[in-house]
Amino acid sequence: MSPKSGEPHKYRGIASDLRDRIKAGEFESEKRQLPSERKLADRYTASQMTVRQALGVLRDEGLIESRVGSGWFVAEWRPIVRNALERLSATQWGEGRSMWDVDIDDRRLEVVGRTEVELINSPEDVARALDMDVAARVWKRNRRYAVDGEIVMRATSYIPDDLAHDTRITESDSGPGGTYARLREAGHGPVRFREQLRCRLATPAEVDDLRLAAGAPVIEQHRSAMRADGRVVEVNRMVLDASRFLLVYDFPA
Amino acid sequence: MSPKSGEPHKYRGIASDLRDRIKAGEFESEKRQLPSERKLADRYTASQMTVRQALGVLRDEGLIESRVGSGWFVAEWRPIVRNALERLSATQWGEGRSMWDVDIDDRRLEVVGRTEVELINSPEDVARALDMDVAARVWKRNRRYAVDGEIVMRATSYIPDDLAHDTRITESDSGPGGTYARLREAGHGPVRFREQLRCRLATPAEVDDLRLAAGAPVIEQHRSAMRADGRVVEVNRMVLDASRFLLVYDFPA
DNA sequence: TAGTGGTCTAGACCACGTC
DNA sequence: ACGTGGTCTAGACCACTAC
């Protein structure tokens, strides 16, 4: 009935108490729904704003999520496992043996809608990554991915025009195997990759684009694909809904 | 003077306007300080709470940071670059060519204080990762790391007792080269690694431990180290201040 | 001491979901 | 129609920082 004592702030006490109740399974009914903000405000003799601040703490921890017009619900973490070396991992690296022993389910990333393709003058950072002049002509391929009908990722790929101009990379449907297969056929097949990762909170634009909650974290991932002579043949900028992904990397010592 | 129109909510408009002003360099004076919340409330004819909501958006984007009793300041992103294949990347993978072409500075991660070492009964998830029975004896090595005197990471390492019991792994100072060097000397040198990454917002305990702002994102990273016959000889659970790190992975196609 | 961010209240209205 | 989360106000007080 009362928020935990010992906490310096009311909202921390409320959050702490609710956290315990969630972990004790108090809301594990059919809908896994929490009391409404107004009911909680009554119960903890606090204002709605203060209760919202407490709920925000638990949302940040990934324990609960809100649905407008509906309520707050206990959340569940069912990550999409994304292994940078899918083929190698299956054969060479053997079985799991990791602390997160999640189900390697076969939910597949599906492209949402049409892939937008356009020939543009390269932005500065892309030009640097491709080791080209600024404003060099590059093909930009922009798409969103979904799992189970929910958008989880935005990917924007850039390929130099001189590598792509007479391939299906210039079309929305780049054909079986995608961009990398077309590059390989043209003699520019990537032989190694570099991925850079950072994690930050979503911008409002990304909140709209990926249907995220405000303040939700995203993973920003940049991948450079290099062919045998070291030239970067593609860069790919991805923004992932961080709450949905578990990224896996295997590598030798 | 007026928040951007076209935004559905007032705080989004204020955030949008402030974002533009920050990027235009309006606050690039000595202290890089923004006007106070009350002054902003006046200027945008909004309440302090609404201004705070707008500032929260920009803080989430990593653009600004607050110091209590002092004010809001333009933030700077100077990530610690962490390459999973440091040695390989230097020789084999060649030069950068990536979209984030940050300075590969030589700021080093320093251990804060003493490494806490204890022999414990293995927790369940650690036992699973090590492919051992639950409650098997493992050495737990717990430490924090700092850069420029600021705490940026917590790492907790677990090594089975039967591999570590007559090495300096059982001591706070495990000697030159650290745990992996001791394992190698004992014939258990890791030959490959698996890293799993997820990104989420910090728990209150992590906020205290790593001196984070409330609602700041962290990277939770689990690493398994495997010796030649495939046995996992160490697992390492790390929690990183996400705002401070850029993670890099190089791998072959 | 004056100014700052941080917390908190007791109301209000809105858009949306469920029924 | 009603309940929900989400936004917003106009105050208030507190702890902290800088002067």
Question: How does pLDDT run across B184-243, given as a tens digit for each residue?
Answer: 889 998 888 888 888 888 877 787 788 787 668 899 999 888 888 889 999 999 999 988
Strand C contacted by B204 CB (< 7 A): no
The residue of B98, B224, B232 whose CB has the most chain A CBs within 10 angstroms, and thus the best one to mutate to test that interface, is B98
Partners of residue B60 in chain A, C-beta under 8 Å: 200-202, 215
| Strand positions, DSSP E, chain A | 64-67, 71-74, 80-83, 110-121, 137-147, 150-160, 192-201, 217-226, 232-241, 245-252
**Helix and strand counts by DSSP (H, E) for chain A:** 8, 10
Q: Is the pLDDT of residue A84 over 50?
A: yes
Strand C contacted by A52 CB (< 7 A): no
Instruction: Please judge whether A99 and B61 are an interchain contact, meaning their C-beta atoms are less than 8 angstroms apart.
Output: no
pLDDT at B44 (0 to 100): 92
Q: Which residue of B has its CA nearest to A79?
A: B198
Q: Which residue of A has its CA nearest to B9?
A: A204
pLDDT at A122 (0 to 100): 92
Q: Do A7 and A19 touch, CB atoms closer than 8 A?
A: no
Partners of residue A94 in chain B, C-beta under 8 Å: 230
pLDDT at A91 (0 to 100): 38
Strand C contacted by A11 CB (< 7 A): yes
Instruction: Please judge whether A198 and B242 are an interchain contact, meaning their C-beta atoms are less than 8 angstroms apart.
Output: yes
Q: pLDDT class for B100, splitting at 50, 70, 90?
A: low
pLDDT at A50 (0 to 100): 94
Protein residue minimizing CA–C1' distance to C2: B69
* Percentage of the residues of chain A whose pLDDT score is greater than 70: 87
From the list B56, B219, B230, the residue facing A199 with the nearest CB is: B219
Q: pLDDT class for A72, splitting at 50, 70, 90?
A: very high
The residue of A85, A199, A231 whose CB has the most chain B CBs within 10 angstroms, and thus the best one to mutate to test that interface, is A199
Instruction: Please judge whether B204 and A12 are an interchain contact, meaning their C-beta atoms are less than 8 angstroms apart.
Output: yes
Q: Which domains, from first to last, does chain B contain?
A: 10-74 (1.10.10.10), 80-248 (3.40.1410.10)
Q: pLDDT class for B80, splitting at 50, 70, 90?
A: confident
**Average pLDDT score, chain B:** 82
Q: pLDDT class for A85, splitting at 50, 70, 90?
A: low
Instruction: Please judge whether A253 and B196 are an interchain contact, meaning their C-beta atoms are less than 8 angstroms apart.
Output: no
pLDDT at A250 (0 to 100): 81
Question: Mind listing the pLDDT tens digit for each residue in A134-181?
Answer: 888 999 999 998 887 778 899 999 999 999 988 999 999 888 878 888
Q: Which nucleotides of C are covered by protein (CB under 7 A)?
A: 3-12, 15-18
pLDDT at B111 (0 to 100): 84
Question: Mind listing the pLDDT tens digit for each residue in B125-161?
Answer: 899 889 888 888 999 999 998 887 778 899 999 999 9
Predicted structure pTM score:
0.77
Q: Do B248 and A194 touch, CB atoms closer than 8 A?
A: yes
Which residue type does A155 have? A
Q: Which residue of A has its CA nearest to B199?
A: A242
Instruction: Please judge whether B99 and A195 are an interchain contact, meaning their C-beta atoms are less than 8 angstroms apart.
Output: no
